[in-house]
Amino acid sequence: MAIITSLLICLPFLLLLPLFLLLQKRKNVYKNPQQKTLPPSPPKLPLIGNLHQLGTPPHQSLHQLSIKYGPVMLLHLGRVPTLVISSAEAAKDALKTNDLHCCSRPSSAGARRLTYNYLDMAFSPYGDYWREIRKICVLELFSVKRVQSYRSIREEEVDEMIHSISASSSSGAPVDLTEKLFALTASIIFRIAYGTSFQGSKFEHAKNIDELIQDTEAMLGGMSGADCFPSWMGWVIDKVSGVHKEFDRISKELDGFFQQVIDDHLKPGRRVDDEQAHEDIVDVLLKIVKEQSEFGASHLGHNNIKAVLLTKV
């Protein structure tokens, strides 16, 4: 009975102990002389930092905060310190003067899952692998000769769009130019990257292919609990909110789509035209993987190809 009574007496103090420790830690941080060199920062809350100050759309919230705290300010998105730059001078200093220190993108759970642990060029950190994959893209995929070889594809798709607009105009039907331009871009990329036309192919009737592309973009550009909070807390937040399940669905569907494209290119009956100009991007990447394996230096595989193709989605 005495033990229970003691616990009841101490209970209020035990409940206030975590708050006291947080306040003490915050007080010590502000006493640290090194903190005086940090940019201005809005007041933050424990655990969530400045996340509560980001509204929808977030860029407008950042603009309002920059008016008060200046063109260079420090935010804390959960446990992640984030430097926000809102002026051309500061952007030049970060992206040109100190480009080697700022060129790598921050890590995120969504990008890591979709790029097979950063095997692409856009999200891969600066280093030997990034330089190698960039060399392949510059010399093999986006060279002047390669880009010019796709001229006929671009002209055909533009002609088809013009004919479609003309037919709608003749019948008096309204034309959504935004939809037409997006369809034009998607058709050109599809033929250049995968070597087949989207219209009339089996991919055109794939389940929710347009929704999959939109979900992929949201997954790459969004934030999850794992990005802002400690591992155990982020895992719980993503599990409860359904982010884990959504990430699994998107990555599985996208991987299946890319694997189907690769399998179609590896079929024995498939032939590429004799002229190199007609090779699509998947053909080029598969040829590089094959050449490396023949020389015994193969460290590129299908996952590397899928990660590079992700930038074409």
Is there a single domain that holds both residue 153 and residue 95? Answer: no
pLDDT at 215 over 70: yes
Domain annotation covers residue 8 = no
Is there a single domain that holds both residue 175 and residue 258? Answer: yes
Q: For residue 23, name the pLDDT band (cuts at 50, 70, 90).
A: low
Residue 121 Rama label (left phi>0; alpha psi -120 to 50; beta): alpha
Look at residue 68 in the predicted model and tell me its pLDDT.
Answer: 92
Q: For residue 21, name the pLDDT band (cuts at 50, 70, 90).
A: very low
Is there a single domain that holds both residue 75 and residue 164? Answer: no
Compute CA 262 distance to the chain's CA centroid, rounded to the nearest angstrom. 22
Written as one string, the DSSP assignment of the chain is -HHHHHHHHHHHHHHHHHHHHHHHHHHHHHH-GGGGGSPP----BTTTBTGGG--SSHHHHHHHHHHHH-SEEEEEETTEEEEEE-SHHHHHIIIIITHHHH-SPPP-HHHHHHTTTT-SSSSSPSSHHHHHHHHHIIIIIS-HHHHHHTHHHHHHHHHHHHHHHHHHHHHT----HHHHHHHHHHHHHHHHHHSS-STTSTTTTSTTHHHHHHHHHHHHH---HHHHS-HHHHHHHHHHHTHHHHHHHHHHHHHHHHHHHHHHHT-TT----SSGGG--HHHHHHHHHHHHHHTT-----HHHHHHHHHTT-
Is there a single domain that holds both residue 291 and residue 239? Answer: yes
Number of domains present in the structure of the chain:
2
Domain that holds residue 213: 128-310
Look at residue 198 in the predicted model and tell me its pLDDT.
Answer: 66
pLDDT at 101 over 90: no
Look at residue 222 in the predicted model and tell me its pLDDT.
Answer: 80
Domain annotation covers residue 11 = no
Distance CA 14, CA 1 (A): 19
Look at residue 11 in the predicted model and tell me its pLDDT.
Answer: 45
Look at residue 55 in the predicted model and tell me its pLDDT.
Answer: 83
Mean pLDDT of 78-106: 88
Domain of residue 175, CATH code: 1.10.630.10
Of residues 123 and 276, which shows the higher confidence score?
123
pLDDT at 204 over 60: no
pTM: 0.74
Domain annotation covers residue 73 = yes
Strand partners of residue 83: 74
pLDDT at 20 over 70: no
Look at residue 313 in the predicted model and tell me its pLDDT.
Answer: 60
Most confident residue range from 19-33, 175-189, 293-307? 175-189
Is there a single domain that holds both residue 92 and residue 164? Answer: no
Q: For residue 66, name the pLDDT band (cuts at 50, 70, 90).
A: very high
pLDDT at 32 over 80: no
